[in-house]
Protein backbone atom coordinates (compact mmCIF):
# COMPACT_ATOMS: atom_id res chain seq x y z
CA UNK A 1 0.00 0.00 0.00
CA UNK A 2 1.27 3.39 -0.93
CA UNK A 3 1.23 5.98 1.71
CA UNK A 4 -0.36 8.71 -0.41
CA UNK A 5 0.03 11.45 2.15
CA UNK A 6 3.73 10.80 2.36
CA UNK A 7 4.10 10.64 -1.40
CA UNK A 8 2.34 13.95 -1.72
CA UNK A 9 4.63 15.49 0.87
CA UNK A 10 7.67 14.24 -0.99
CA UNK A 11 6.27 15.62 -4.23
CA UNK A 12 5.60 18.93 -2.59
CA UNK A 13 9.14 19.07 -1.26
CA UNK A 14 10.47 18.46 -4.75
CA UNK A 15 8.66 21.45 -6.22
CA UNK A 16 10.30 24.69 -5.17
CA UNK A 17 7.16 26.67 -5.90
CA UNK A 18 5.15 24.80 -3.32
CA UNK A 19 7.61 25.13 -0.48
CA UNK A 20 5.78 26.92 2.30
CA UNK A 21 7.78 29.50 4.17
CA UNK A 22 6.34 28.21 7.42
CA UNK A 23 8.11 24.88 6.85
CA UNK A 24 11.44 26.53 6.27
CA UNK A 25 13.81 24.86 5.98
CA UNK A 26 12.87 21.53 4.45
CA UNK A 27 15.68 21.21 1.92
CA UNK A 28 19.46 21.70 1.99
CA UNK A 29 20.62 25.29 2.34
CA UNK A 30 23.53 26.40 0.15
CA UNK A 31 26.13 28.93 1.24
CA UNK A 32 27.70 30.40 -1.90
CA UNK A 33 31.32 31.39 -1.28
CA UNK A 34 32.84 33.93 -3.71
CA UNK A 35 36.37 32.53 -3.40
CA UNK A 36 38.07 29.18 -4.04
CA UNK A 37 38.41 26.80 -1.09
CA UNK A 38 41.01 27.64 1.52
CA UNK A 39 40.77 31.34 2.22
CA UNK A 40 39.36 33.29 5.08
CA UNK A 41 35.81 33.51 3.72
CA UNK A 42 35.67 29.86 2.74
CA UNK A 43 36.95 28.83 6.17
CA UNK A 44 34.34 31.01 7.86
CA UNK A 45 31.56 29.32 5.87
CA UNK A 46 32.89 25.88 6.72
CA UNK A 47 33.20 26.76 10.40
CA UNK A 48 29.56 27.82 10.75
CA UNK A 49 28.15 25.07 8.51
CA UNK A 50 27.96 22.28 11.14
CA UNK A 51 26.28 24.60 13.68
CA UNK A 52 23.72 25.82 11.16
CA UNK A 53 23.08 22.25 10.08
CA UNK A 54 22.34 21.23 13.63
CA UNK A 55 20.04 24.19 14.34
CA UNK A 56 18.19 24.29 11.02
CA UNK A 57 17.90 20.51 10.81
CA UNK A 58 18.93 20.49 7.15
CA UNK A 59 22.25 19.84 5.41
CA UNK A 60 24.30 22.95 4.69
CA UNK A 61 26.18 22.87 1.39
CA UNK A 62 29.21 25.12 0.97
CA UNK A 63 29.55 25.96 -2.71
CA UNK A 64 32.57 27.80 -4.10
CA UNK A 65 31.78 30.02 -7.07
CA UNK A 66 34.99 31.96 -7.33
CA UNK A 67 35.86 34.59 -9.85
CA UNK A 68 35.65 38.18 -10.96
CA UNK A 69 36.32 39.58 -7.49
CA UNK A 70 33.30 37.75 -6.12
CA UNK A 71 30.88 39.08 -8.69
CA UNK A 72 30.05 35.69 -10.11
CA UNK A 73 28.88 34.38 -6.75
CA UNK A 74 27.01 37.59 -5.96
CA UNK A 75 25.11 37.56 -9.25
CA UNK A 76 24.38 33.87 -8.84
CA UNK A 77 22.73 34.48 -5.46
CA UNK A 78 20.99 37.64 -6.64
CA UNK A 79 19.34 35.62 -9.42
CA UNK A 80 18.54 32.60 -7.25
CA UNK A 81 15.02 31.98 -5.93
CA UNK A 82 14.37 34.26 -2.98
CA UNK A 83 13.35 31.37 -0.74
CA UNK A 84 16.20 31.30 1.76
CA UNK A 85 17.83 28.18 0.35
CA UNK A 86 20.60 30.01 -1.49
CA UNK A 87 22.65 32.40 0.64
CA UNK A 88 25.60 34.60 -0.14
CA UNK A 89 28.66 34.24 2.11
CA UNK A 90 29.78 37.79 1.49
CA UNK A 91 32.85 39.84 2.29
CA UNK A 92 33.81 43.48 1.69
CA UNK A 93 34.90 43.40 -1.93
CA UNK A 94 32.45 40.91 -3.44
CA UNK A 95 29.40 42.51 -1.87
CA UNK A 96 30.14 46.21 -1.79
CA UNK A 97 32.76 47.15 -4.33
CA UNK A 98 33.05 44.52 -7.07
CA UNK A 99 30.44 46.12 -9.37
CA UNK A 100 32.42 49.35 -9.22
CA UNK A 101 35.89 47.85 -9.68
CA UNK A 102 34.66 45.49 -12.40
CA UNK A 103 33.15 48.41 -14.32
CA UNK A 104 29.67 46.97 -14.17
CA UNK A 105 27.96 49.31 -11.73
CA UNK A 106 24.48 48.04 -12.63
CA UNK A 107 25.31 44.38 -11.98
CA UNK A 108 23.90 44.58 -8.48
CA UNK A 109 23.50 46.93 -5.56
CA UNK A 110 23.71 45.35 -2.14
CA UNK A 111 21.12 47.76 -0.79
CA UNK A 112 18.39 46.70 -3.18
CA UNK A 113 19.38 43.22 -4.37
CA UNK A 114 20.22 41.50 -1.10
CA UNK A 115 18.61 41.02 2.28
CA UNK A 116 21.25 41.05 5.06
CA UNK A 117 20.92 38.21 7.58
CA UNK A 118 23.88 38.77 9.86
CA UNK A 119 27.62 39.12 10.02
CA UNK A 120 29.68 36.01 10.67
CA UNK A 121 33.15 37.24 11.52
CA UNK A 122 35.21 40.38 11.70
CA UNK A 123 38.91 40.23 10.92
CA UNK A 124 41.05 43.13 12.06
CA UNK A 125 44.38 43.91 10.46
CA UNK A 126 47.66 44.79 12.10
CA UNK A 127 50.12 47.36 10.85
CA UNK A 128 53.50 45.73 11.33
CA UNK A 129 57.03 46.72 10.49
CA UNK A 130 60.00 44.39 10.14
CA UNK A 131 62.04 44.24 13.35
CA UNK A 132 65.31 45.37 11.76
CA UNK A 133 63.73 48.72 10.84
CA UNK A 134 64.06 49.65 14.53
CA UNK A 135 60.70 51.30 14.70
CA UNK A 136 58.44 50.69 17.65
CA UNK A 137 55.61 53.22 17.36
CA UNK A 138 53.48 54.56 14.58
CA UNK A 139 54.91 58.07 15.04
CA UNK A 140 58.42 56.75 14.56
CA UNK A 141 57.34 54.95 11.41
CA UNK A 142 55.79 58.10 9.99
CA UNK A 143 58.94 60.08 10.85
CA UNK A 144 61.21 57.49 9.30
CA UNK A 145 59.13 57.13 6.18
CA UNK A 146 59.25 60.87 5.60
CA UNK A 147 63.03 60.95 5.63
CA UNK A 148 63.67 57.74 3.66
CA UNK A 149 61.91 55.92 0.84
CA UNK A 150 60.04 53.05 2.49
CA UNK A 151 58.32 50.17 0.75
CA UNK A 152 54.96 48.82 1.86
CA UNK A 153 53.82 45.34 0.86
CA UNK A 154 50.24 44.95 -0.35
CA UNK A 155 48.52 41.66 -1.22
CA UNK A 156 46.95 43.21 -4.32
CA UNK A 157 45.56 46.43 -5.75
CA UNK A 158 42.14 47.20 -4.32
CA UNK A 159 42.37 44.90 -1.28
CA UNK A 160 41.33 46.29 2.09
CA UNK A 161 45.04 46.17 2.99
CA UNK A 162 45.91 48.38 0.04
CA UNK A 163 43.03 50.77 0.72
CA UNK A 164 44.05 51.20 4.36
CA UNK A 165 47.61 51.96 3.26
CA UNK A 166 46.47 54.52 0.69
CA UNK A 167 44.18 56.21 3.20
CA UNK A 168 46.89 56.42 5.81
CA UNK A 169 49.49 57.56 3.30
CA UNK A 170 47.24 60.45 2.30
CA UNK A 171 46.66 61.47 5.93
CA UNK A 172 50.29 61.42 7.07
CA UNK A 173 51.60 62.80 3.78
CA UNK A 174 54.52 60.38 3.40
CA UNK A 175 55.89 59.01 0.14
CA UNK A 176 55.27 55.33 0.71
CA UNK A 177 55.91 53.15 -2.30
CA UNK A 178 53.24 50.48 -2.34
CA UNK A 179 54.42 47.19 -3.85
CA UNK A 180 51.64 44.82 -4.92
CA UNK A 181 51.94 41.05 -4.65
CA UNK A 182 49.60 38.30 -5.69
CA UNK A 183 47.92 37.51 -2.39
CA UNK A 184 48.89 37.42 1.27
CA UNK A 185 51.53 34.71 1.02
CA UNK A 186 54.07 36.43 -1.27
CA UNK A 187 53.33 39.77 0.33
CA UNK A 188 54.24 38.50 3.79
CA UNK A 189 57.22 36.60 2.37
CA UNK A 190 58.54 39.90 1.02
CA UNK A 191 58.02 41.57 4.38
CA UNK A 192 59.76 38.84 6.37
CA UNK A 193 62.42 38.30 3.72
CA UNK A 194 63.45 41.94 3.68
CA UNK A 195 62.24 43.15 0.30
CA UNK A 196 59.63 45.45 1.83
CA UNK A 197 59.58 47.15 5.22
CA UNK A 198 56.04 47.25 6.52
CA UNK A 199 52.48 46.30 5.70
CA UNK A 200 48.88 45.97 6.78
CA UNK A 201 47.97 42.30 7.17
CA UNK A 202 45.04 40.26 8.38
CA UNK A 203 45.66 39.18 11.96
CA UNK A 204 45.32 35.52 10.98
CA UNK A 205 48.32 35.51 8.69
CA UNK A 206 50.64 37.90 10.49
CA UNK A 207 50.20 36.74 14.09
CA UNK A 208 52.72 33.84 13.89
CA UNK A 209 55.36 36.25 12.61
CA UNK A 210 54.61 38.75 15.37
CA UNK A 211 55.03 35.97 17.93
CA UNK A 212 58.23 34.88 16.22
CA UNK A 213 59.63 38.40 16.55
CA UNK A 214 60.13 38.89 12.82
CA UNK A 215 57.84 41.91 12.74
CA UNK A 216 56.71 44.47 15.31
CA UNK A 217 53.02 45.36 15.52
CA UNK A 218 52.45 49.13 15.65
CA UNK A 219 48.67 49.25 15.62
CA UNK A 220 45.56 47.20 15.00
CA UNK A 221 42.88 48.48 12.65
CA UNK A 222 39.76 47.45 14.56
CA UNK A 223 37.67 49.74 16.76
CA UNK A 224 38.74 47.84 19.89
CA UNK A 225 42.03 46.23 20.84
CA UNK A 226 42.57 42.62 19.85
CA UNK A 227 42.70 39.93 22.54
CA UNK A 228 45.81 38.30 21.08
CA UNK A 229 47.74 41.60 21.22
CA UNK A 230 46.42 43.42 24.29
CA UNK A 231 49.30 45.94 24.38
CA UNK A 232 48.98 47.09 20.79
CA UNK A 233 46.90 50.27 20.36
CA UNK A 234 44.20 50.70 17.77
CA UNK A 235 44.83 53.09 14.89
CA UNK A 236 42.46 55.59 16.47
CA UNK A 237 44.22 55.37 19.84
CA UNK A 238 47.54 56.29 18.26
CA UNK A 239 46.06 59.65 17.35
CA UNK A 240 47.82 59.58 13.99
CA UNK A 241 44.82 58.64 11.89
CA UNK A 242 41.13 58.29 12.58
CA UNK A 243 39.67 55.27 10.82
CA UNK A 244 39.06 51.56 11.27
CA UNK A 245 39.70 48.98 8.59
CA UNK A 246 38.31 45.49 8.98
CA UNK A 247 37.26 42.72 6.69
CA UNK A 248 33.94 41.13 7.49
CA UNK A 249 32.18 38.00 6.41
CA UNK A 250 28.42 37.79 6.55
CA UNK A 251 25.35 36.05 5.21
CA UNK A 252 22.84 37.64 2.86
CA UNK A 253 19.81 36.26 1.05
CA UNK A 254 18.43 37.49 -2.27
CA UNK A 255 16.14 40.49 -1.81
CA UNK A 256 12.52 39.39 -1.38
CA UNK A 257 13.30 36.39 0.81
CA UNK A 258 10.43 35.90 3.31
CA UNK A 259 11.10 37.54 6.66
CA UNK A 260 10.49 34.41 8.70
CA UNK A 261 13.09 32.47 6.71
CA UNK A 262 15.59 35.26 7.38
CA UNK A 263 14.62 35.31 11.04
CA UNK A 264 15.14 31.54 11.31
CA UNK A 265 18.57 31.64 9.69
CA UNK A 266 19.55 34.68 11.72
CA UNK A 267 18.58 32.92 14.94
CA UNK A 268 20.49 29.76 14.00
CA UNK A 269 23.50 31.80 12.90
CA UNK A 270 23.71 33.86 16.05
CA UNK A 271 23.27 30.80 18.27
CA UNK A 272 26.06 29.07 16.32
CA UNK A 273 28.36 32.06 16.65
CA UNK A 274 27.75 32.17 20.39
CA UNK A 275 29.11 28.68 21.05
CA UNK A 276 32.58 28.45 22.57
CA UNK A 277 33.77 25.99 19.95
CA UNK A 278 32.94 28.29 17.05
CA UNK A 279 34.35 31.31 18.88
CA UNK A 280 37.56 29.39 19.44
CA UNK A 281 37.79 28.42 15.79
CA UNK A 282 37.44 32.01 14.65
CA UNK A 283 39.98 33.08 17.24
CA UNK A 284 42.45 30.56 15.79
CA UNK A 285 41.81 32.15 12.42
CA UNK A 286 42.67 35.56 13.86
CA UNK A 287 39.06 36.67 13.52
CA UNK A 288 36.26 37.45 15.92
CA UNK A 289 32.90 35.67 15.74
CA UNK A 290 30.46 38.49 15.34
CA UNK A 291 26.75 37.72 15.86
CA UNK A 292 24.53 40.57 14.69
CA UNK A 293 20.85 41.07 13.95
CA UNK A 294 19.92 41.81 10.33
CA UNK A 295 19.50 45.51 11.24
CA UNK A 296 22.88 45.71 12.99
CA UNK A 297 24.53 43.97 10.05
CA UNK A 298 22.96 46.50 7.68
CA UNK A 299 24.45 49.31 9.81
CA UNK A 300 27.88 47.69 9.58
CA UNK A 301 27.56 47.35 5.80
CA UNK A 302 26.56 51.01 5.51
CA UNK A 303 29.51 52.09 7.62
CA UNK A 304 32.06 50.07 5.65
CA UNK A 305 30.52 51.19 2.38
CA UNK A 306 30.64 54.88 3.32
CA UNK A 307 34.19 54.73 4.68
CA UNK A 308 35.76 52.93 1.77
CA UNK A 309 33.78 53.73 -1.36
CA UNK A 310 35.75 56.93 -2.07
CA UNK A 311 39.04 55.10 -1.54
CA UNK A 312 38.06 52.25 -3.84
CA UNK A 313 37.02 54.76 -6.46
CA UNK A 314 40.34 56.58 -6.10
CA UNK A 315 42.56 53.52 -6.59
CA UNK A 316 40.40 51.86 -9.26
CA UNK A 317 42.70 51.30 -12.23
CA UNK A 318 39.86 50.42 -14.59
CA UNK A 319 37.66 53.48 -14.69
Partner 1 sequence: MSVLYDLAAGFQVALTWQALLICFGGVMLGTFVGVLPGIGALAAISLCLPLTYYMLPVHGLILLAGIFYGAQYGSSTSSILLNIPGTPAAAATCIDGHPMAKKGRAGQALFIVTLSSFFGGCVAIMILVAFAPPLARFALTFGAPEYFAVMLLGLVAASTASPGSPVKGLAMMVLGLIFGMVGTDVTSGAYRFTLGYVELTDGINLVAMAMGLFGIGEVLSNLAERETPAPPRKGFSLREMLPTREEARSSVMPAVRGSLLGSWIGALPGTGPSIAAFIAYATEKRISRTPERFGTGAVEGIAAPEAANNASVQAAFIPTLCIGIPGDAVMAFMLGAMIIHGIVPGPGLITEQPDMFWGLVASFWVGNVLLLLLTLPLIGMWVRILSIPRQVLYPLIIFLICVGVYSVNSNVFDIFVAVAFGLVGFAMSLFKYPVAPVLLGYILGPLVEENFRRTLFISDGDFSAFVSSPVSITCLVLSLVALVLPPLLMLRSRRLAAARG
Partner 2 sequence: MNGFLAIGKRAELAFAAFLFALGAISAWNGWAYGIGQWNDIGPGAFPFGLGVVLMGLAALAAREAGASGSIERRLAPAMMLLPGIILWALLIEPVGLIGATLVLCLCYSLAEERLNLVQAALLALALSAMGYVVFILGFHLNINLLGDLL
Q: In angstroms, rounded to a whole number, what is the distance separating the alpha carbons of residues 286 and 110?
A: 27
Nearer to partner 1, 27 or 68 (CB): 68
Residues whose CB falls within 8 Å of the CB of residue 42, separated by 6 or more in sequence, listed in order:
33, 35, 36, 62, 64
Q: For residue 89, what are the CA distances in angstroms to 193, 249, 288, 307?
A: 34, 7, 16, 21
Taking residues 274 to 303 in sequence order and writing x for each that binds partner 1 by CB under 8 A, - otherwise, the string is ------xx--xx------------------
In this structure, the number of other CB atoms found within 10 A of the CB of residue 105 comes to 10
- The reply on whether position 9 binds partner 2 by CB under 8 A is no
Per CB under 8 A, 14 contacts partner 2:
yes
Stretch that binds partner 1, among 139-147, 206-214, 232-240, 298-306 (CB under 8 A): 206-214
Q: Which is nearer to partner 2, 14 or 274 (CB)?
A: 14
Pick the closest to residue 206 from 127, 136, 139, 137 (CA basis).
Answer: 127
Binding-site residue total for partner 2 (CB under 8 A)?
A: 4
Q: Give least dist CB 152 to partner 1, A.
A: 11
Instruction: State which residue, 22 or 317, has the beta carbon closest to partner 2.
Output: 317
- Residues of span 136-175 touching partner 2 by CB under 8 A: none
Among positions 8-67, residues that touch partner 1 (CB under 8 A) are: 36-39, 42-43, 46-47, 49-50, 63-67
The answer to whether 121 and 288 have CB atoms below 8 angstroms apart is: yes
Rg (CA), the chain: 21
Nearer to partner 1, 47 or 246 (CB): 47
Helix axes 138-147, 160-172, angle to 10 degrees: 70
Q: Does 310 bind partner 1 (CB under 8 A)?
A: no
Partner whose binding site includes residue 194, from partner 2, partner 1, none (CB under 5 to 8 Å by kind): partner 1
Task: Select 108 or 297, whichever has its Cβ closest to partner 1.
Answer: 108
**DSSP characters over 118-183:** EEEEEEEEEEEEEGGG---SHHHHHHHHHHS--EEEESSTTSHHHHHHHHHHHHHT--PEEEE-SS
Minimum distance from CB of 23 to partner 1 (Å)? 26
Closest CA to 202 of 260, 88, 285, 92: 285
Pairing of strands 29-33, 60-64: parallel
Residues in touch with partner 2 (CB under 8 A): 14, 61, 63, 317
> What residues make contact with partner 1 under the rule CB under 8 A?
36-39, 42-43, 46-47, 49-50, 63-69, 71-72, 102, 104, 149, 151, 156-158, 177, 179-183, 185-186, 188-190, 192-195, 204-205, 207-209, 211-212, 214, 280-281, 284-285, 315-318
Amino acid sequence: MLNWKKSLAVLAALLPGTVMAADFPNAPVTLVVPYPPGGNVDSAARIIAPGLEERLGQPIVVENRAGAGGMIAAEYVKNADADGYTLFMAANGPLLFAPMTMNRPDAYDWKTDFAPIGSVSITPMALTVRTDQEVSTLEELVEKSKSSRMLLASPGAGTTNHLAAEKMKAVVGADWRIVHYKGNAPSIASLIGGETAFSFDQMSVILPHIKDGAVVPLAVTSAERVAALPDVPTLRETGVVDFTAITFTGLLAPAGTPDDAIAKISEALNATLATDEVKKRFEDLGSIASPKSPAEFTDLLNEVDETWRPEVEAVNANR
